[in-house]
Structure 1
């Protein structure tokens, strides 16, 4: 896992000694984090609508407990992800040269072809990952055993995450008094995707720059031991503590638009650490194709229109503009 050949050439740590996970003195995490953890907690088994509403309005993010995903599955996904990333860079490239699973590094923003957008190596995000569209996995088998094992686990994982997303969105819709014809179409199972990330050891740059997600909901299974995720709250950056058997749920741009800005798409970033790498697995879900988002704050639009605009902005202005492009009386 610590072989530098496993990293993309532009992400290979410079002047870092190999990390020995058998040496407890070599296991150094990031800077100390807040204690107690400041993130609001939502219990999915005993869902409190008032607490959920407050978390969505004040934070745009919460920690989910009693979510029903087996702890063994969460651990298996993390362990298998580490095995997958430990493969050589060349073998990962070769294994994912055909869809549906794609391999990227340097930025999470993908072009329509699924290829990572290349940028100045000095300004890249220090991240590599696998992009896994869930709707195509059942017809996909891979000769690489590690990738095939990951496919099987992700399919099982996706059934739990789809259930969680639907339950949360229906509760949010009720809190917002939304009159939606088919709530499931706003968190369409067909749109679900998983991204598996590795953030290498480095003391320069960011694992991921400040951004908001374009999704309705994003559900994160983060490393149990290594912190890195930070969220913006009242103009202050807060560390999101890694706690075993919990999931982090954050709202994306689509949820903010659906709620007419009552709920927030939370700004977040990922910090890298010079001593230890970090693995995270995130599930994203979006409105179904053709679902029109109607809001008092924004012109009607579909997610496909939003995504196309984001991709155009990244190419032309160099960054995601996002929801402001769709505000009333704004030029697109």
Structure 2
């Protein structure tokens, strides 16, 4: 029977009371529902707009990402994640690739932690030369840099189609997507036998991005909230998952939605994924009839402040314009 390398897990994930019990779950089964599929090589703006308005998420085919590159990144990531925890946290990772785990902003109660660890790589830092990097990370950096170039291409093509649908002002649109400010995260969701409702690989949330592009392995676990019910986003080989983030919801005046999603834990298998997050320019103004004018820098600062003080991301609600009172009584 396969057993995970517990010494590579962050300390709170190793506690014996989590790993000597048989996996079980008290969650209701997710709803089965066909997800919208978009073909990047034969991009239909109308179909894309319908998927973004109805779901805020779609599956992407014919995206041009070489399968061998995805496999190489996953294989190398598995080696890096399997290293002793202390070496990942203090010895091998630094600029331009950093390491984090769990949800550091909230309390240290293990039941509140996201059951996840990640290598974090901003694209502009991956492309910087002259930085001293651990030898084990150099080939990983090169793979991620190449993968990032593909992600910039895919994100730009999707964004331009969405911008056309939404008739963005050309001057405003120029700052609505920054090719250089994207970032990559490579995730491992450790095996967690206690698959009750208290534990999540990643708790329900929306992304702060313009859009996020996920390349998930065959294990599964991603779910999206649709009509107040959780829907499984089942892995399909060679297919990416694209979801819209808060910035696109604001830019589109809520015509498109920032979809809430989560990752459930798996009691028998580790899960690996690669996610690209596309952002606007930090100081570019985002204009909306539903929200106060703000920059992504403003938004990020407010999110960080809220997480530090409350443990939760409030997000777009902090910038929501108050609707005028109709003056009608109850």
Shorter chain as normaliser: what TM range? 0.7 to 0.9
Match of 2:322 in 1: 329
Matched with 1:77 is 73
Name 1:252's counterpart in structure 2. Answer: 245
Matches within 5 A, 1:42-191: 42-95=38-91, 98-107=94-103, 116-117=104-105, 119-122=107-110, 123-138=112-127, 139=129, 140-145=131-136, 147-181=137-171, 183=173, 185-191=175-181
Deviations 1:187-236 (CA, angstroms, capped at 9, x unpaired): 2122110111111111240011110000001000101x201000000111
TM-score (norm 1): 0.87
**Structure 2 spans left out of the alignment, 5+ residues:** 21-26, 324-330
- Rounded to whole Å, the distance in 2 between the matches of 1:253 and 1:74 is 27
Question: Does the Cα contact within 8 Å between 1:106 and 1:118 map onto a contact in 2?
Answer: no
Supply the distance in 2 between the matched residues of 1:49 and 1:243 (Cα, whole angstroms): 23
Q: Distance in 1 between matches of 2:116 and 2:158?
A: 29
Unaligned runs of 5+ in 1: 18-29, 108-115
Count how many residue pairs are aligned between Structure 1 and Structure 2. 309
Structure 1 ranges of 4+ moved more than 4 A: 30-35
1:186 to 1:13, Cα distance in 2 relative to 1, 3 A:
farther
How far apart in 2 are the matches of 1:184 and 1:83?
Answer: 40
CA apart distance, 1:163: 0.6
The answer to whether residue 227 in structure 2 is matched with residue 237 in structure 1 is: no
> In 2 relative to 1, CA 32–329 (structure 1 residues): closer, same or farther, beyond 3 Å?
closer
RMSD: 2.2
Question: Does the 8 Å contact 1:96/1:103 carry over to 2?
Answer: no
Question: Within 2, Cα distance between the matches of 1:13 and 1:271?
Answer: 19
User: How far 1:117 moved relative to its partner?
Assistant: 2.7
Q: 1:44 offset after TM fit, Å?
A: 0.3
**Residue aligning to 1:318:** 311
CA distance in structure 2 between the aligned counterparts of 1:248 and 1:48, rounded to whole angstroms: 17
